[in-house]
Amino acid sequence: MKPRRPIDPYWMLAPTALLLALFFFYPLLFAVEKSFYDWDLLTPPRYVGFDNYRALLESGELLDAFTTTLSLSVVVVIGSMALGLGLALALNRPGAFASAVRAAIFSAYVVSWVSVALLWLWVLDSSAGALTLTLRKLGIPTLDWLGNPRVALYSLAGVTIWKIAGYAMVLFVAGLQDIPRQLYEAAALDGAGAVRRFFNVTWPLLRPTAAFVGTTSLILSFQVFDVVRVMTQGGPVRSTTVFVYAIYEQIFINLRVGRASAEVVVFFVVLLALTALQLWAWRGKPKGARA
Amino acid sequence: MSARTLARRSLVCGSAAAIGGVFLGCNDRRIPPGRTGVSLWFTYGGRNREVLEKLVQAFNTAQNRYYVHGVFQGDYFEGLAKLRTAIAARAAPALSHVVGEVIPYLAEAGVLEPLASYPGAAELDLIPELAQQKSWVGGDAHPLVCLPFNRSTPIAYLNGEIFARAKLEPPTTWDELRQTARALTLKSGDQVQRYGFGCPISWWFWVALVGQAGGEVVERDGTVSLGGEAGVRAIQFWQTLVADGSMKPPPGRDYNAWEATNQDYLAGRAAMIWTSTAFLKYLEDNARFPVVAARLPRDRRFAVPTGGTHWVMVRGAPAEEKAAAWEFLRFMHEPEQAMAWATRTGYMPVTRSAIGRLEREGYYAKHPNDRIAVDQLAVAMPWPWSPTLFRVQQEIVQPRLESAVFSKKDARAVLDQARALANRSLG
Amino acid sequence: MSRLRNLALIAVALIWLLPYAWMLSTSLKTLPEIVAAPAAPLPSGLNFDAYRAVFAAMPLGRYFWNTTVMALGIAAIQIALALPAGYALAKLQFTGRAVAFGLVVATLLIPAQVRFVPVFVLLADVGLANTMTALILPFGVSAFGTFLIRQALESVPDSLIEAARMDGASELRIVFGLLAPMLRPTLVSFFLFSFVYHWNDYFWPLVMTTDDSVRTLPLGIALLREQGTGVRWHIVMAGNVLLSAPALLVFALAQRHLLRAVVSRSP
């Protein structure tokens, strides 16, 4: 439609544009600029060229943050998608009972990350936590979930999956309900068993949903911070220092704003690349799918 | 409800909330009318926090001109981070307390208020080793910017029952410690039921070991040597104890490790630990065995770093708030308060008159454990007045200590690498 | 077979419910109880000491108020801005429309962790650091909300708008008076979703606030895990109950709407 007055669309978008410029685009440019300086917020910034990037690369900090975050992310994405899909398939049925179970699972997504982190900090406590005590009672050997550097990251991944599985499940349920019943009936008439039906009917039509869940859980897992801050503070032995936590530390503990900005720039580029990669990996419409 | 109302309501609500919220956020100090208020940002939890809050309350009721409003900011690191960002945002409180390692940096950055010209500054009768004068090398050459608050040294805590049964004395040398730890480690099969020794793998204790091995972390001329050979010996000492199986290096970052050490001690899982004198009252109260405090042993010499925090005032704060803060500081340094603080927590009394009175009243005779930290002051090492010291701690040393001990890396290689990094990045 | 399946499903639900029950149970115990018998599933009695301690340790009422005001403010402003923006992007033809839309969506790729230092410095320079404005304004635009509204408006026939125009209604009145009511389900869902999301936010208040004047509840409760002298779990869990309850309450009351917002994100 043509606007009433030519200026209309512009002033309608003006507040949005202003806030976006101030709080999204300007910060991005600022971060890029400051990444070439050494600055501690208390004294004037000092130009250092590419030193920050060099230091981050040489100290291995960038690579460590990336691999730590990637390890966490792989587990979280695969885990939450698999769990979400499994729960959706099991709970995609009418009735109050299934609805109640779905609600119970989704409730973890609704509370704050701090809430979940504190809760699991207590449950995973290596001396008095519920999980440790239960395992001990059952005679199963228990680990120091948050204190063992080889295990801590995966404990955090587990906590993350616990929180977001409900989200994946709800999305998959919606996706499943979009699949027309006739397709299943037709497949069944063709003699396809449950497994064949899944791969020939369900999965192709669920791909867009799966793509969405995969992309969002990837981005979410790369931005993980709260659980790390509350549960392990990046330790033990830096085994849970994910990207965002490393940035936080650079600013608040080391007071190196320039270096943190360099890390932020790299983080942003990585996120962009991952998103592009995800979109490319899930590309292509399956045959016969609705637009 | 019509949708127009809904939309309008949202707009009005939103703006009102935003605007009202700003005002709400701006002025919520709960200062009684007629008084000058000052914010004190503190970073204690638990028991020590309660003691501090009671003292703040005592100050507020003892006079009616000023009012101190305490704000809890988390642990040392969180609190320090917030203080620095607040200073950068020009929204800092007038009064806070920070660890010694960061004071030279803050002082050189010009954000700390010089204190020497405040009334009564020279008559505070501070113990030199705890005050700026001797806490740093050449501390009195710099303008006075801090006053001692909760000052501590690391000490050894022994499980009295276990030691009595094994008829062992507190170790006084590294070798004795190693043997004692080995003797007191109890295994059942593969599982260790009790470690002979526990210690957080942390900067402070590493500095203690470096000092005991005869080294300095930062040389007098400012070079970051990380103790040289002594630094290597320090890490190797820990590695030996872990290899012996008599020390469990508690994992966890920063205070998680300290906490784990305390809990291990209290639960009888470690016969002897090194930790701060600050936990003395806490451990004495919660242990089900007699707690025996002892000095740290020597390698080449006896040496301990000092720890805890110092009071600082922020230069950019308004003058009335700084005046109020100063009155509070004077109050805290009076003998009653200094004694109350020390005897209720385990930190050392910071004035000579306070210590004198405690001695005269027979306090130390009744509480010999409290005496240990005070006695160790004789071998306290001053910190270098180096603006990069906290970076050495946070960026160079602390991240590498855990991995060096945990993954049994070659101590010399780790320190060489760290030293090179320090010289490159810290100039 | 069906009974077995139901049992299995109950077991699954328990994985999500038991931790909360444990949290509640712990919050009602006393410290000696926890030390002596940490595995006891039920508390010996309804002991509210832990809750008293939480209230004594921090100005809970103020934190709760701060958090609610902040979340309400954000959600309200987001809707107020997204409606006209979504309308312009959906219904009006103008130069640069595609670019504008692209830019809005692009901001989804610039997360808070990338923005916070510059925003902090910017706000600090004008004396707005550590204020409610710092918590609300940077979230005034929701790309997601704008996208949602645009999408919803695309299915509104142009003829309706043209009719309203001919009746003499101004564009603003069309957007807020005519279209907003039609979008009511979407708006309600989005409002709830944004409200809960920002109510729960930890990172932004953590980096934007320096003292406790505008501190939010998640920050306050996270501070309960004081280190060094033994974590007092019953107090931490009591705080956690207080932190989780509002979100769970909103969820219980408005489950349908929340779910709609979540699901509507899928293509």
Summarize pLDDT for C108-144 with one digit per residue, the tens.
888 888 899 899 989 988 888 889 999 999 999 999 9
Contacts 24+ apart (CB under 8 A), B105-108: B105/B387, B105/B388, B105/B389, B105/B390, B105/B391, B106/A42, B106/B145, B106/B312, B107/B142, B107/B143, B107/B145, B107/B387, B108/B387
Q: Residue A170 and residue C262: Cα distance in Å, rounded?
A: 8
Residue C223 has a pLDDT of 87
> Would you place residue C227 in the very low, low, confident or very high pLDDT band (cuts 50, 70, 90)?
low
Placement of tokens 């919220």 in the chain = B21
Task: Tell whether B391 lies on the interface with A, counting CB pairs under 8 A.
Answer: yes
Q: What is the maximum alpha-carbon separation in chain A?
A: 76
| C113: nearest Cα among A250, B85, A267 | A267
User: Is C28 an 8 Å CB contact of chain B?
Assistant: no
State whether A42 and B253 contact (CB < 8 Å): no
Q: Answer yes or no: are the C-beta atoms of B336 and B54 closer than 8 Å.
A: no
Domains of chain C: 66-211+253-263 (1.10.3720.10)
Q: Count chain B–chain C contacts defined by CB atoms under 8 A.
A: 156
Torsion of the alpha carbons at C151, C156, C162 and C168, rounded to the nearest 10: -90
Q: CB contact, 8 Å: C187 with chain B?
A: yes
**Measured at the alpha carbon of residue A48, what is the angle toward residues A42 and A52, in degrees to the nearest 5?**
85
Question: Neighbouring chains of A at 3+ CB pairs within 8 Å?
Answer: B, C
CB B114 within 8 A of CB B143: yes
Please tell me which residue of chain C has the smallest CA distance to B6. Answer: C181
What would the mean pLDDT of B140-147 be, rounded to a whole number? 92
Q: For chain B, positions 197-226, list CB contacts with chain C under 8 A.
A: none
Contact assignment for A110 to C258 by CB distance below 8 Å: yes
Which three-class secondary structure state does DSSP give residue B71? strand
Chain B closest CA to C8's CA: distance in Å? 37
Give how far Cα C149 sits from Cα of A2, C85, C262, Å.
19, 9, 14
CB half-sphere exposure, B345, CA atoms < 13 A: 31
* B78, HSE (Cβ side, Cα atoms, 13 Å): 26
Is the CB of B75 inside 8 Å of chain C's CB atoms? Answer: yes
Q: How far apart are CA B345 and CA B152, in angstroms?
A: 11
B5 near C CB under 8 A: no
Q: Count contacts between A and B (CB, < 8 Å).
A: 63
Per CB-CB distance under 8 Å, the chain C contacts of A115 are 200, 218, 221, 240, 243-244, 247
Tokens representing B198?
A: 């526990």
CA C206 to chain centre: 15
Tokens 């923005």 belong to C115
CA separation, residue C90 to residues B21, B100, C151 (Å): 33, 60, 7
Does A104 reach chain C within 8 Å, measured CB to CB? yes
With 0-12 / 13-18 / 19 or more C-beta atoms within 10 angstroms meaning exposed / middle / buried, residue A2 is: exposed
- The whole-angstrom distance between C234's CA and the closest CA on chain A is 10
Taking the CA of residue A229 and the nearest CA in chain C, the distance in Å comes to 9
Helices (H) and strands (E) in chain C, counts: 15, 0
Q: A42 and B87 in contact (C-beta within 8 Å)? A: yes
Distance CA B7, CA C166 (A): 22
Q: Do C210 and B39 touch (CB under 8 A)?
A: no
The confidence band for B26, taking pLDDT boundaries of 50, 70 and 90, is very low
Q: How far apart are CA A233 and CA B228, in angstroms?
A: 30
Which residues of A lie inside 8 Å of B (Cβ-Cβ)?
40-43, 55, 59, 127, 144, 146-149, 232-238, 252-255
Query: How would residue C230 be classed by pLDDT, with cut points 50, 70 and 90?
Result: low
Please tell me which of the candidates B28, B259, B282 has its beta carbon nearest to residue C227: B259
Distance to chain B for A77, nearest Cα, Å: 26
Which H or E run contains B82?
A: helix B76-88
More confident residue, C63 or A9: C63
Q: Hey, which residues does B263 pair with through a beta bridge?
A: none
B207: confidence class by pLDDT, cuts 50, 70, 90: very high
Which residues in chain B (78-137) have CB-CB distances under 8 A to chain C? Answer: 82-83, 85-86, 88-93
Asked whether A132 and A141 are in contact (CB, 8 A), the reply is no
Distance from CA of C243 to the nearest CA of A (A): 7
| Chain A residues with CB-CB distance to B106 below 8 A | 42
What integer pLDDT is reported at residue A32 of this predicted model?
94
* Per-window interface: C 41-60 vs B, CB < 8 A: 57-58
Tell me the two tokens of residue B63: 């006079």
State the sign of the Cα–Cα–Cα–Cα dihedral C200, C203, C206, C207: negative
3-class state of residue B98 by DSSP: strand
Is B394–A254 a contact, with Cβ atoms under 8 angstroms apart?
A: yes
pLDDT number for residue C9: 86
Per-residue pLDDT, B7: 46
Q: Do C210 and B6 lie within an 8 Å CB cutoff? A: no
A42·B109 Cβ contact <8 A: yes
Domains of chain B and CATH, by start: 36-152+307-381 (3.40.190.10), 154-305+388-426 (3.40.190.10)
Contacts of B101 in chain A (CB under 8 A): none
Alpha-carbon gap, residue B49 to A98, rounded angstroms: 49
Find which of A78-82, A98-102, C5-9, C34-38 is predicted with most confidence, using mean pLDDT.
Answer: A78-82
With b meaning 16 or more CB within 10 Å and e meaning fewer, what string describes B214-234? bbbbbeeeeebbbbbebbbbb
Please give the single-letter amino acid code of residue A192.
Answer: A
Q: What is the pLDDT of residues C169-207, one digit of tens each?
A: 888 888 898 898 999 989 999 999 999 999 999 999 999
- What pLDDT score was predicted for residue B345? 85
Q: Which of C118, C165, C250 sits opposite A4 (nearest CB)?
A: C165
Q: Which residues of B touch C135 (CB under 8 A)?
A: 21
Distance of CA B349 to the CA centre of its chain: 15
Task: Spell A207-241 as b/e; 16+ CB within 10 A means b.
Answer: bbbbbbbbbbbbbbbbbbbbbbbbbbbbbbbbbbb
Question: Which among C16, C140, C146 is the nearest to A108, CB-wise?
Answer: C16
B274 forms beta bridges with B156
**CB under 8 Å to A119, separation ≥6 — which residues?**
C19, C20, C23, C237, C240
For position A83, what pLDDT does the model report? 94
Largest Cα–Cα separation, chain C: 77
pLDDT, averaged across chain B: 85
Is A253 at the interface with chain C, CB within 8 A? Answer: no
Determine contact, residues C181/C79, Cβ cutoff 8 Å: no
Please tell me the predicted confidence (pLDDT) of residue A25: 92
Neighbours of chain C (3+ CB pairs under 8 A): A, B
pLDDT tens for each residue of chain A, 291 residues long: 787 788 888 888 999 999 999 999 999 999 999 999 999 888 889 999 998 999 889 888 899 999 999 999 999 999 999 999 999 998 988 888 888 999 999 999 999 999 999 999 989 987 778 888 888 888 888 888 887 888 999 999 999 999 999 999 999 999 888 888 888 888 888 887 878 888 888 888 888 889 889 988 998 999 999 999 999 888 777 889 999 999 998 888 888 899 999 999 999 999 889 888 887 887 754 443 333
> Does residue B15 sit at the A interface (CB-CB below 8 Å)?
no
Contact between B26 and C213 using a beta-carbon 8 Å cutoff: yes
Q: Cβ contact (<8 Å) for B402 and A237?
A: yes
Residues of B in contact with C69 (CB under 8 A): 17, 20-21, 24
pLDDT at B256: 66
- Shortest CB distance from A149 goes to which of B106, B406, B425? B406
Read off the pLDDT of residues C65-102 as tens digits, 9 standing for 90 and up.
999 999 999 999 999 999 999 999 998 888 888 899 98
Quick check: B8 pLDDT over 90? no
Give me the sheet containing B146-152, strands edge to edge. Answer: B66-72, B36-42, B95-99, B307-313, B146-152
Which of B202, B263, B425 would best serve as a mutation to test chain A binding (most A beta carbons within 10 A)? B425
**Contact predicate C211/C130, CB 8 Å:** yes
Is C233:B92 a contact under the CB 8 Å cutoff? Answer: no
In whole angstroms, what is the distance from residue B54 CA to residue C38 CA? 32
- Chain A contact set for B81 (CB, 8 A): 252-253
Contact status of B252 with chain A (Cβ, < 8 Å) = yes
Taking the C-alpha atoms of residue A283 and residue C151, their distance in angstroms, rounded to an integer, is 22
Contacts of B77 in chain A (CB under 8 A): 253
Mind listing the domains of chain A with CATH numbers? 50-281 (1.10.3720.10)
Q: What is the pLDDT of residues B108-131, one digit of tens each?
A: 999 999 999 999 888 888 999 899
Cα separation, C126 vs A203, in Å, equals 54
List of chain B residues whose C-beta atoms are within 8 Å of the C-beta of residue C184: 3, 6
pLDDT (mean) for B16-24: 44
Distances (CA, A) of A209 to A172, B61, B314, C105: 7, 64, 55, 19
% of chain C residues with pLDDT over 90: 39
Residue B89: its chain C contacts at CB < 8 A? 120, 123-124, 129-130, 210
- B403 and A232 within 8 Å at the Cβ level: the answer is no
CA distance A108 to chain C (A): 7
